[in-house]
A and B are shown apart, each in its own frame.
Chain A
Amino acid sequence: MKRCGRSERIYQIRVTYKRTKRKFRSKRKKEKQKSNTASYDHIIKAPIKLILNDENHRHNVLDFIEDINFFCRLKNKRILLDFSRTTHMYSGATLLFRAHICRIYNKKHISTTIKCKYSKVPKINEVLKQIGLLEILGQKLNRTPRHPDVVHWRYAQGAGALGEKYEEILGSYDGAITPALSEGLYLGITEAMTNTRHHAYPDQENSSYNEIPTNEWWMFSQEKDGELHVVICDLGIGIPVSLPTKKPNVWKKITSKLGGTPKDSIVIQEAIRHSKTRTGKEHRGKGLKQLTNVLANTKGGRLVLFSNHGCYNVREGDVSLFDFKRSINGTLIAWSLPIANLETAA
Chain B
Amino acid sequence: MNNGDIINVAEDFSRYPAGRYVSDGPYSGEQFRRLFLMPTLAQQREITIVLDGVRGYGSSFLEEAFGGLVREGYSSEEILSLITIVTSDPSLEFEVHEYIEHADTRDTV
Contacts and interface: CB of A to CB of B under 8 A. Distances in A.
Contact of A194 (B18, B92, B94): B18
B76 interface: no
Highest count of chain B CB atoms <10 Å: which of A164, A190, A274, A281: A190
B94 A279 contact: yes
Interface stretch (A25-33, A155-163, A312-320): A155-163
A191 B58 contact: yes
Contact of A161 (B18, B59, B92): B18
Nearest to B27: A163
A283 interface: yes
A161 B108 contact: no
A243 interface: yes
B28 interface: yes
Interface stretch (A36-44, A109-117, A222-230, A284-292): A284-292
Given A163-B25, A288-B109, A183 B18 contact: no
A277 interface: yes
Interface residues of A, number: 37
B36 interface: no
Interface stretch (A100-108, A128-136, A246-254): A246-254
A187 interface: yes
A126 B14 CA distance: 36
Contacts of A167: 16, 55
B58 A290 contact: yes
A249 B25 contact: no
A286 B16 contact: no
A71 interface: no
**Residue from A186, A283, A286 having most chain B Cβ neighbours under 10 A:** A286
Q: Most chain-B CB neighbours within 10 Å: which of A167, A194, A246?
A: A194
Interface of A is mostly: helix
Interface string A194-238: 100100000000000000000000000000000000000000000
A193 B25 CA distance: 9
Given A161-B24, A247-B109, A274-B109, A190 B58 contact: yes
B106 to A, nearest CB: 10
A255 interface: no
Most chain A CB neighbours (cut-off 10 Å) among B28, B55, B91, B92: B55
A183 B58 CA distance: 10
A247 B92 CA distance: 25
Contacts of A285: 59
A160 B108 contact: no
A168 to B, nearest CB: 11
Nearest to B90: A281
A123 B60 CA distance: 41
B55 A284 contact: no
Interface of A: 160-164, 166-167, 182-184, 186-187, 190-191, 193-194, 197, 243, 246-247, 249-250, 271-272, 274-275, 277-279, 281, 283-288, 290
Given A160-B19, A194-B20, A283-B91, 18 more contacts: A160-B24, A161-B27, A162-B26, A163-B18, A163-B27, A166-B55, A182-B55, A190-B16, A190-B58, A191-B59, A193-B19, A194-B25, A197-B24, A250-B107, A279-B94, A285-B59, A286-B59, A286-B60
